[in-house]
């Protein structure tokens, strides 16, 4: 009863294929945005901003990028972090070498460069599929990081091979405190998420899904697989590139290429699997889950330790955290293989019928 869509009639195709066809969803999203843009900035602590919210949003953007590629277009990639690195290092160079370039344009430029690189490494997808492709994208992961380490130009010949993000200034306004950085990241992520949602409901998204479900059949009904797949790689890498730039500028500050290692790629892949493959919502849920879970575990262990005076050796605590983390991932995959987004869908079904069981 709480989530009843009866009585909401659609009389045009446009209304039927709207981003949020149901009124409750629109209200819900508006509420979430209200909380994210107004309530949180007024109430959250600096810790929450800089250690949880900002990385959560940035990684959600990267996960969204990967989800477009893997979840919608069906191309498995393990090179996400490398595309993020391209975005970060190219944004740095745009700002460094083009005086007066607007910050957002530099980020977009980083994203476009990442997209270009993504297209190159997407080419093999025309012939290779499945895990063979996944391992092949590892070539991108290792090769790109090697290039960034080797070619001094990318780091402005910094002797240690690191880049230090320039201050973020838009129209003379400097975003340097945690709440300001959060708002900037949030705005970019919100806009790009809406764009993604818009994309996947339209022609492009449907082409991708057709390719994902069966590429031979998609080809038969007139979808050009080359165009669709490469577009998926480009768009996905663009998202990752922007996320990578934000990761450097709004989160870490000074980064070495190693910050974008294979581990990060895996973490982002985790996010979409746990969150839900092929959903925009899943990227956000998964990112929150993967970022917050280890923190919650370690705080939990520390809390138990201090309240119960267990005197657990730190190494035991750390290992237990790791084991529980691994165990929970397996548990979630077994209980809900379609991810957290699926749980939300089930909840919606339940709410629709509430208070009746069926």
Partner 1 sequence: MMWFLRALVGMLLVGTASIAAAQNEQYIPLLSYRIGPYAAGGSGYFGGAIDYFTLVNLNGGINGVKITWEECETEYNASRGVECYERLKTRHGGASTVEPLSTGIAYGLFERVAQDKIPMTTNGYGLAISAEGSVFPWVFPLGTTYWDQAAAMIAYLGQKVGGEANLQGKKIVFMYHDSAYGKEPIPVFDALAARDGFELTKIPLTPPATTQESQWLQVRQLKPDYVILWGFGVMNPVAIKTAAKLGFPRDRILGVWWAGSEEDVIPAGDAAKGYVTAAFSATGTNFPVMQEIVKKVYGSGKGNLEDKSRVGSIYHTRGVTYAIMIVEAIRQAQNHFGKGKVMTPEQVRWGLEHIDLSDARLKELGASGLFPPVKTSCADHEGSGMVKFQEWDGKTFKTLTPFMAGDRALVHKMVEQGAAKYAAEKKLTPRDCGKEG
Partner 2 sequence: MQFFFEVLIGGLLSGVMYSLVALGFVLIYKASGVFNFAQGSLVFFAALTFVGLMEHGLTFGAALAVTLLVMILLGLLIEKFVLRPLVNQPQISLFMATIGLSFLIEGLAQLLWGANVRGLDIGIQDEPIGWIADATGVNVSKFDLSAAGIAAVLVTLLALLFSRTRIGRALRAVADDHQAALAVGIPLQQIWGIVWAVAGFVALVAGLLWGARNGVQFALTFVALKALPVLILGGFDSVPGAIVGGLIIGATEKLAEVYFGPYVGGGIEGWFPYVLALAFLLVRPEGLFGEKIIRRI
By the criterion CB under 8 A, which residues form the site for partner 2? 70, 76, 124, 127-132, 135-136, 138-139, 142-143, 146, 149-150, 214-217, 220, 262, 266, 269-270, 273-274, 277, 315-316, 319-323, 325-330, 333-334, 337
The three-class DSSP label of residue 141 is helix
217 binds, among partner 1, partner 2, none (CB under 5 to 8 A by kind): partner 2
CB of 185 to partner 1, least distance (A): 15
- The end-to-end CA distance of the chain, in Å, is 11
- C-alpha to C-alpha distances, 72 to 115, 169, 191, 224, 342, nearest whole angstrom: 17, 35, 19, 16, 15
CB of 265 to partner 2, least distance (A): 11
The residues that touch partner 1, with contacts defined as CB under 8 A, are 46-47, 50-52, 55, 146, 149, 159-162, 164, 176, 251-259, 263-264, 294-295, 298-299, 302, 306-319, 321-322
130 binds, among partner 2, partner 1, none (CB under 5 to 8 A by kind): partner 2
Q: Which residues of 290-306 are buried (b: 16+ CB within 10 A; e: fewer)?
A: bbebeeebeeebeeebe
Angstrom distance (rounded) from CA 276 to CA 134: 19
The residue whose two tokens read 């306004």 is 173
Angstrom distance (rounded) from CA 211 to CA 234: 16
Entry field: residues in the chain: 358
241 binds, among partner 2, partner 1, none (CB under 5 to 8 A by kind): none
139 binds, among partner 2, partner 1, none (CB under 5 to 8 A by kind): partner 2
Angstrom distance (rounded) from CA 80 to CA 63: 9
Query: How many Å is the Cα radius of gyration of the chain?
Result: 21
Give, in degrees to the nearest 5, the angle at Cα 57 between 55 and 63: 100
Q: Which is nearer to partner 1, 305 or 336 (CB)?
A: 305
CB of 278 to partner 2, least distance (A): 11
46 binds, among partner 1, partner 2, none (CB under 5 to 8 A by kind): partner 1
> Which tokens in the block code for residue 26?
């629109």
CB of 11 to partner 2, least distance (A): 37
Q: Which is nearer to partner 1, 295 or 353 (CB)?
A: 295
Q: Return the closest-CA partner of residue 55 out of 230, 253, 287.
A: 287
252 binds, among partner 2, partner 1, none (CB under 5 to 8 A by kind): partner 1
CB of 138 to partner 2, least distance (A): 5
């Amino acid at each position: 009863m709480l989530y009843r869509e009866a009585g909401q009639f659609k009389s045009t195709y446009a209304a039927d294929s709207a981003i949020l066809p149901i009124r409750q969803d629109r209200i819900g999203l508006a509420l979430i945005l209200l909380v994210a843009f107004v309530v949180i900035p007024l109430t959250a602590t600096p810790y929450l901003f800089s250690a949880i919210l900002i990385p959560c949003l940035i990684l959600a953007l990267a996960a969204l990028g990967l989800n477009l590629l893997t979840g919608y277009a069906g191309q498995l990639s393990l090179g996400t972090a490398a595309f993020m690195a391209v975005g970060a290092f190219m944004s740095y160079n745009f700002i460094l070498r083009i005086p007066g370039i607007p910050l957002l344009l530099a980020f977009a430029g980083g994203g476009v460069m990442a997209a270009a690189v993504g297209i190159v490494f997407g080419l093999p997808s025309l012939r290779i599929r499945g895990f063979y492709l996944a391992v092949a994208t590892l070539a991108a992961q290792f090769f790109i990081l090697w290039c960034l380490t080797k070619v001094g130009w990318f780091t402005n010949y910094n002797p240690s091979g690191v880049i230090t993000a320039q201050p973020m200034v838009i129209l003379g306004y400097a975003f340097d405190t945690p709440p300001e950085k959060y708002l900037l990241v949030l705005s970019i992520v919100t806009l790009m998420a809406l764009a993604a949602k818009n994309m996947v409901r339209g022609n492009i998204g449907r082409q991708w899904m057709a390719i994902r479900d069966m590429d031979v059949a998609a080809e038969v009904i007139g979808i050009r697989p080359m165009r669709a797949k490469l577009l998926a790689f480009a768009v996905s890498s663009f998202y990752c590139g922007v996320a990578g730039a934000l990761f450097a500028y709004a989160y870490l500050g000074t980064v070495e290429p190693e910050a974008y290692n294979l581990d990060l790629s895996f973490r982002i892949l985790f996010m979409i699997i746990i969150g839900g493959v092929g959903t925009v919502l899943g990227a956000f849920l998964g990112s929150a889950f993967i970022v917050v879970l280890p923190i919650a575990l370690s705080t939990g262990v520390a809390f138990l330790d201090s309240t119960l005076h267990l005197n657990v050796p730190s190494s035991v605590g750390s290992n237990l955290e790791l084991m529980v983390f691994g165990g929970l991932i397996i548990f979630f995959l077994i209980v809900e293989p379609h991810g957290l987004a699926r749980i939300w869908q089930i909840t919606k079904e339940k709410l629709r019928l509430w208070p009746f069981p069926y």
